[in-house]
Chain A
Amino acid sequence: MDAVEREHAEDADDAVRIVSGLLRRGDHGEAFRERRTVVSWSASEAGLLAPSVAEERGTAVRIRHDPETLLFAREGDGADALREVVRDASRRAGGSPFLKPRLRPAPPAAPTALPAPTDEQAAAIASALARALPDPRGIVLSLTVSHVVVTRAVITARGFLACGRSARLVATGAVRRAEATRPFAFQSAAPFPDAAGAFSAALREAVRPVAASLPLRGEVDVVLSPAAATVFWHEVVGHPLEAEGRNGHSVLSRVPRAAVAPAGLFVWDDPGAPDQPGSYVHDDEGSPARRVPLIEDGRVVGLLTDRRTGGADSNGHGRAADYRRPPRPRLSNLFVSPGTATLEELADRCGSGLLVHAISAGTLEPESGRFLLLVESAEAIRRGRPGAPVARFALAGDLLSALRHLDPARGAVSRPAEGLGICVKGGDALPVGGSSPAILLRGLHVSPGRS
């Protein structure tokens, strides 16, 4: 337990009593504490520019009284903030706050210091930039590189639950060359020096000149590298199986138990996976993080739920972007079962098509199942061999059709997708992770110049 977790737990017994007193018969709910520290650097092709440090503390109280949910949030993550927000919530909920006077006056809060950027951090990031851009001529870089540490705790009527502390290195911005601007996003939950190394490698890849030759148009068979496949699964299976709406809001959630993909395919979401950006111990409603199978042997078998959609049976996927936002059923880290093929074997099975290395973003329209993936880096496959790099393009398809035409052969090696970064849904941004083997999809629609 680190210093912030200890601070959050200091008034644990008192906090549990306060939350318990807030909830009336038939109510469910909890309090939520969060502290977010962000040490950032603005960076250009010339190196690091300006440092910034920000710390945000907040407390929220949520009361669910079917069919209404109330959420009250306020700055501060200590005992006084909890009492204030409970007072606000009690007024709105029509009750009287149950705030017994403390037996002893609270000791004066020790001034909590904000962390300053360290020389080691600055040196590691500056060195990563220098390695990625040994010759920055012709490149305009506009990045924000941040080390983000988030500590969360949930207080229910039954107890105090530490959700854990997560630390990530995040970089976002754009790389501009004469011929194109490329968005750049990176994140890693690995220890800082390793994360800085991975950041350097990702940036080096992003600053390469953009290929000019256009990919094939129309219907194309596509091999997705492990990194690109992770984004595909996230959009095409993960989001549609987030439980929302009583009648199923997506083509996939409306067909439980249906065989939608080749036998032998297993897809699951696991918030408990170590060293992944989307990992946590308890979700933001205090439910234990659970591994949830979504597709088993090609069949749809699960949905990701929170307290609102799953009640007491929530499988621990109620996630909130920050203390001000309501938890909603969201993905954490999505995994796909590997196969036995090598990337070369998949290219050989493809014959003529595309090998996609990196996808920068994706969207899915859940009702129709139409999806769009923006491809940043790819090569043409001719006669079973990857060759010339091609210009950026978009891959479009239909969810059910894409899964039906997924080749049963999959790569033997699963790799985490560092470019998966932050997932934004309904304006709420959350860190997500996962890993996938390389896959072969038949008949996706290629649209050049759309990326």
Chain B
Amino acid sequence: MTVPVPRPDDGLFDELLSAASREAAREGEGAELYERCGASLELAEDDDGARVLVSHERGFALRLFRSGRVAFAAGNPDAAASLFRVAREALPRARTRRGARAAPAVAGDAAASRPADRPALPDEKVARDVLAGFRRSLATSGDGAVLLREATVTLGERSERLATTAGRDAAWTSRAAALVGTVVGRSGAGRFSARVVAAAARPEELPLARLSRYAADRVLLPLHGRPLEDSRRDLLLDAHVASHLVGRLAPLFLGDDYDPLLLARTRDGRDPLAAPVVSLVDDSGATGGPVRTTRDGEGTPQKRHVVVERGVAVSRLTDTAAAARRGGASSGNAVRRAWSEPPVIGVTNFFVDPAAGLAPLDLLNPVARGLYAAVLLERPYVDVAADRFRLSVAGYLIEKGRAGGRVSEAIVSGRLSDLLRRVEAIGDDLRFVSGAGGGVGSPTLYVPGWKSE
């Protein structure tokens, strides 16, 4: 298809930054200006035909800081000139919070100090190839019993630029790809449908074969298996199931909101949070992770950050303000979900480190009487405050290390802290899913002798 020529840089960012710096200096304020340009292409196919969606966007956001107060204003280029005035009008109504300030310069900013490149529109042919690949893969995995009712491939590119009156000036680009499918399983027992999702930093990294196997299990197990009543069993949580559980732990480590809770759970840090085989990491450059960025929403360079090391909570994920409150440097976890929303602390790729992992077959061998939880049937319920979790899963029985009958539904539930501390082994099969506003991942987890409540 014809690719529209990106518009040249019009100097609007520099103009706005210069005006904001001038105005802010008069009142002793700090200012942060952010620009995002995005291009995305979405290809969707269903019973009624195909849809091609092409979208370009450009937005500006400004944060104004004064004595611990912060106000945010965002708009398209048409309204960008009024952002400073609106933020200044809103600022007196903000409550003071320690640490709120414009981010300072970091090494390397000088080189990046240039307008972000305008993103090009992703190639429609790539999207068509991804969709065709998924169809082929699903036909194999589903063995004719699984239909793809609707599928959507989204490819996006964006460029961002951020500058502050405290000297930060950075520009960076990123890409993303996602595949969403609605699959329907059919058998003599009826029909069952499900929505499955895969995300990756590049279209070629979308795990099509894995998603199609998961999709087939997701709609066929509830039709073919038998429900499993509560009983004590060894538990193998597939990487996909475990990832969603791990994602629900992320809020514990975002800033300082959950510090009292975390301290209470670990008796002021004397007890471990999880078993020694469990280390939790946030890494925007993790292989296979759906997020791949070099800077966060405040322009802070990102790197691998360990929050739980061998079961012990050792640090938190922070933005500039939370880091200042804790007396350290930002971990680079300010996330902007959209240019029109203020940044919040969030994850990039948050996962259980598989470094201590075993091959999945080695995990299977010691299981005498167990359940392999292959798919999630519902959104998992995890309440970190109440220390409870409940997963509705389908999967396979395991007898003496071998897969047995199919399980259409089983409930795995209990105390979250018990589950984390009783993980005896992990696999080396790290997988990611979308979750917690970024990517969340885990290898297969082995928990012996689990009795659901």
Contacts and interface: CB of A to CB of B under 8 A. Distances in A.
Interface in B51-90: 51-59, 61, 69-79, 81-83, 85-87, 89-90
Interface string A350-368: 0000000000000101111
A365 B390 contact: no
Nearest to B186: A367
B79 A57 contact: yes
Contacts of B341: 52, 54
Interface in B395-448: 411, 413
B90 A117 contact: yes
Nearest to A119: B93
Contact of B191 (A177, A367, A426, A451): A367
Interface string B356-387: 00000000000000000000001101011110
Given A50-B72, A53-B90, A75-B56, A368 B49 contact: no
Nearest to B97: A49
B385 A178 contact: yes
B93 A75 contact: no
Contacts of B4: 87-88, 91
A324 B55 contact: yes
Contacts of A53: 72-74, 86-87, 90
Contacts of B71: 50-52
Contacts of B285: none
A50 B95 contact: yes
A101 B121 CA distance: 28
A73 B55 contact: yes
B53 A71 contact: yes
Contact of B74 (A55, A72, A247): A55
B390 A450 contact: yes
A366 B194 CA distance: 9
**Interface size range of chain A in the complex:** 35 or more
A247 B53 contact: no
A246 interface: yes
B52 A449 contact: no
Contacts of A54: 61, 72-75, 340-341
Contacts of A366: 193
Given A55-B76, A92-B2, A116-B86, A247 B50 contact: no
A46 interface: yes
B389 to A, nearest CB: 10
A372 B379 CA distance: 11
B193 to A, nearest CB: 4
Interface of A: 38, 46-58, 66-76, 78, 87-88, 91-92, 109, 111-117, 119, 122, 140, 142, 176-181, 244-247, 249, 308-309, 324-326, 363, 365-368, 372, 426-427, 447, 449-451
21 contacts: A50-B72, A50-B97, A51-B72, A52-B71, A54-B72, A55-B74, A55-B340, A68-B52, A71-B51, A74-B57, A75-B57, A75-B58, A75-B76, A88-B54, A91-B4, A112-B82, A117-B93, A142-B257, A363-B378, A366-B193, A451-B381
Given A53-B86, A71-B51, 20 more contacts: A50-B69, A52-B72, A53-B87, A54-B73, A54-B74, A56-B74, A57-B76, A68-B52, A69-B49, A74-B55, A92-B2, A92-B52, A116-B85, A181-B383, A244-B47, A245-B150, A324-B55, A367-B191, A368-B193, A447-B411
Shortest beta-carbon contacts, A-B, top 6: A67-B49, A52-B72, A54-B340, A116-B89, A367-B191, A367-B193
Interface of B: 1-2, 4, 44, 46-59, 61, 69-79, 81-83, 85-87, 89-90, 93-95, 97, 149-150, 180, 184, 190-195, 257, 340-342, 378-379, 381, 383-386, 388, 390, 392, 411, 413, 453
